[in-house]
Chain A
Amino acid sequence: MIKEASIRQPLILGHKTYHDITNDIVSPIEGKAPKQWKIAITIAAIIALYGIGNIMYLVANGIGSWGLNKTVGWAWDITNFVWWVGIGHAGTLISAVLLLFRQRWRMAINRSAEAMTIFAVIMAALFPVFHMGRVWLAYWTLPLPNQFGSLWPNFNSALMWDVFAISTYFSVSLVFWYIGLIPDFATIRDRMVKPRWKKFYSILSFGWSGRAKHWTRFEEVSLVLAGIATPLVFSVHSIVSMDFATSVIPGWHATIFPPYFVSGAIFSGFAMVLTLLLIMRKTMRLEAYIHMKHIEYMNIVIIVTGSIVGVAYLTELFISWYSGVEYESYAFINRFSGPYSWSYWMMMTCNVISPQLFWFKKIRTSLVATFILSIVVNIGMWFERFVIIVTSIHRDYTPGAWGEFHPSTIDIGMFIGTIGIFFTLFLLFARYFPVLALNELKTILKVSGESYKKEDNKKH
C-alpha cells in the first residue's frame, strides 16, 4: 500500500471506518429534510421564479427591454455570461487537473464543485441563448442542413467557437460528474429502505455492482476523461476571451486575454466553491472531511490565480500606454478615471488587494475571513467583466456616439433570477445527491485518515 509522509496533515479527521464514511454522507439523504433547507430552498425558488418571469417578459417583448443602446450593445448579458462561465471553471479544474496531479484533497470537494460547475454553465448559457431574441431558433447555431440553400454558420467567428466550446464543456463535465456518481448512487440504493426511493436510486445507479473489472474501467475512464478535460478547461475560457480579443475594439483587442481570463475563471470558481462549501460543511456536518487544510489549499489557489489576474491588469495598463496607440491608451484612462471609474476601483480592490490578505496564515485559516473574502472575490470578478465590456465600448471612436449603460429592471431581474435558479439546483443536489465522492474517499482513508496515520507513526 502507498504510504504518505507522516508530517503531512491527515485529510480525514477522527476515527472513521468505511462504514462511517457511508453513514456520514448518506444519512442526510435518508433523513427528513431539515427546516433550514426548506427555508433556503423556498427563498431560492421564489427568486428563481422571479427570474423566470423576467425571462418570459424578455422573450415576449424582445431585447429592447434590456438597457442596451446603440453604443453599448453588449452589457449585463455578456457580463453575466462570462461571470457564470468563469465560476463554472473550478469544478472540472478540481476534478481533472488535481486528479492528474494526484492531489488527494480534491476528493472531499470535487463532487460539489462539479455540481456547481454544471449549474453555473447552465446559468451562463441562458444569457447568450436569450440574447438571440427568438430563442426557439437557437438551433440555427448548429450546422444543420436547411431549406435556405447553402446557408451555414460562420466557423471563423469566435461566437461560433463559443457554441462548440460551451456545449462540449457542459456535456463533458456532466458525463464526468455522472460517471463518478454512479457507484455512490449504488451505495445509496443498497441502503435505502423506502421502496420508492430505492427504485429512484436504482434507476440512477444504472445497476452498478462494483465488480473488479468495472472498477478497473472506472479508474481508466476517470483518468482519460481528466486528461482530455484538462485542455478543455483551458480552451473554454480562452475561447470566451476570444469573443473580445478577436474584435478590433480598444480595450478588447489584446493577446493577453486568454491566460488572463483562464486564471480569472479559476480565481472566481474557487471563490464560489469556498462560499458554497463553507455553508455546506457546517449545515451537513462534514467538518471531518472538509477541514482547515482543504480550505487553506483552496485559499492558496486563490492567492496564485488572484496574483496572476493582478499582474494581467497592470500589464494591460502598461501596454496601453507603451503601445502609443491613442485609442488604446484612452480606453484605459477612461477605465480608471471616466464615468465608470468606480467599477474599475471596485474591481481593483476586490480582485487585486483582497486576495493578497491570504498571505497571512491567520486570515487564510480563518473560516469567517475566508467566507467574506470569497464573496468579495465573486463581486470583484463580476465587476471585472463589467469593466472590460462596458467601459471599452461606451465611448466610441466618435464622441457624438458616446453613451452610457443603465441596466433595466429586466436586466437586474434576470441576473438575480439566475442566482435563484442556481441555488435552487444546488440545494436540490445537496439534499438528494451524495455531496462527497464517498467511495473515492474510502480509497484514501487508510493513507490519509487521522487515526490510521497515528497508528502508523507509532509503528515507526
Chain B
Amino acid sequence: MANKVFHVMYDDDQKLLDAAKALVAQGIRVKDVFSPFPVHGLDPVIGVKRTRLAIASFMYATTGTLLATLGTWYFMVSDWDWNIGGKPNFTWIENAPAFVPVMFEFSVFCGAHGMAITYLLRNGTLPGMPASNPDPRTTDDKFVMEIVTEQNESMSASDIEAKIRATDVYELSIKDY
C-alpha cells in the first residue's frame, strides 16, 4: 500500500485548533501545520516542543562577554599598556568601568546574531531555499494540517479520512507519495 498524505485545509484558526484537538484525541498523529500566522495553543496539541533558542542566545551572549573581556585585556593591558593622563591602565580590573560599554555591546551583538543565524539554520530558511507549503493560500488566510499514513499505521487510510471529514474541513486533498 502506498503511503498517503492528507492535506486538510481549514478556513479559520479556531476550526483548525478544534479539529486538531479532536483528531489527536482519536489517536491520530498530526505531522505538521502550515498557517499564515502563529496559532496560539496549537503547539502542545500537536506535540511541538518548546524551542531552546533562548538558551542558545544566552550562550552566544556569554561568549561575547568573554571575548570582549579577553579582547580589552589584550589590546589595552597586555599587548601594549596605554598610559592616558596617568589613569590606571596597567591592570584590567582598575580600568574595567571604561570597558563596560564595549563589553555590553559585544555581548548583545553575539547574542542577537548568534541566535538569528541558529534560527535560520534550524528552520532551513535561507536565501534561495524553495518554499514547502502545500498550498499557496496557507500564507494568506487558510490553515493546512498535514497527516501522513506512515505515522498512523494503526489506522487505515479510509479510517483516517472518515475522521478528518467529521471535522469542519474546508478542503481535503489526498496524495500518494
Binding site for A on B (CB under 8 A): 14, 32-40, 42-43, 46, 48, 50-51, 53-54, 57, 61, 71-72, 75-76, 79-80, 82, 84, 87, 89, 95, 98-99, 101-102, 104-106, 108-109, 111-113, 115-116, 119-120, 122-133, 136-141
Give chain A interface residues in 197-231, CB to chain B under 8 Å.
202-203, 205-221, 223-225, 228-229, 231
| A172 CA / B53 CA spacing, docked (Å) | 16
**Residues of A contacting B39 with CB < 8 Å?**
212, 215
| A156 CA / B124 CA spacing, docked (Å) | 41
Shortest Cβ distance from B2 into chain A, in angstroms? 24
Give the A-B pair count, Cβ closer than 8 A: 202
- What are 25 contact pairs spanning A and B, CB under 8 A? A150-B79, A155-B75, A155-B99, A171-B112, A172-B113, A179-B119, A182-B125, A186-B139, A191-B140, A202-B130, A208-B139, A209-B133, A213-B32, A215-B37, A217-B53, A217-B123, A219-B38, A220-B50, A220-B54, A221-B119, A223-B54, A224-B54, A225-B116, A228-B57, A443-B37
Shortest Cβ distance from A442 into chain B, in angstroms? 5
| A231 CA / B129 CA spacing, docked (Å) | 34
Given contacts A221-B53, A442-B36, 5 further A-B contacts (CB under 8 A): A176-B112, A208-B131, A210-B35, A210-B133, A216-B48
Query: A165-B105, A224-B53 known; A213 and B48 CB under 8 Å?
Result: yes
**Residues of A contacting B137 with CB < 8 Å?**
190
| A5 CA / B8 CA spacing, docked (Å) | 34
Give chain A interface residues in 129-147, CB to chain B under 8 Å.
143
Across the interface, B112 reaches (CB within 8 A) one of A152, A189, A225, namely A225
Shortest Cβ distance from B140 into chain A, in angstroms? 5
**Range class of the A interface residue count:** 35 or more
The answer to whether the Cβ of A87 comes within 8 Å of any Cβ in the partner chain is no
Query: A168-B109, A171-B109, A235-B101 known; A212 and B33 CB under 8 Å?
Result: yes
Across the interface, B129 reaches (CB within 8 A) one of A171, A191, A207, namely A207
| A113 CA / B111 CA spacing, docked (Å) | 23
**Residues of A contacting B72 with CB < 8 Å?**
155
B38 and A218 contacting across the interface, CB-CB below 8 Å: yes
The answer to whether the Cβ of A440 comes within 8 Å of any Cβ in the partner chain is yes
Give chain A interface residues in 282-300, CB to chain B under 8 Å.
none
A207 and B136 contacting across the interface, CB-CB below 8 Å: no
| A405 CA / B165 CA spacing, docked (Å) | 78
Across the interface, B111 reaches (CB within 8 A) one of A22, A156, A228, namely A228
Query: Top 10 A-B pairs ranked by shortest CB distance?
Result: A207-B129, A18-B141, A190-B136, A150-B80, A215-B38, A152-B75, A209-B133, A206-B125, A161-B101, A164-B105
The answer to whether the Cβ of A196 comes within 8 Å of any Cβ in the partner chain is no
| A242 CA / B133 CA spacing, docked (Å) | 50
The answer to whether the Cβ of A17 comes within 8 Å of any Cβ in the partner chain is yes
B128 and A203 contacting across the interface, CB-CB below 8 Å: yes
Query: A206-B120, A220-B54 known; A172 and B71 CB under 8 Å?
Result: no
The answer to whether the Cβ of A305 comes within 8 Å of any Cβ in the partner chain is no
**Residues of B contacting A179 with CB < 8 Å?**
116, 119
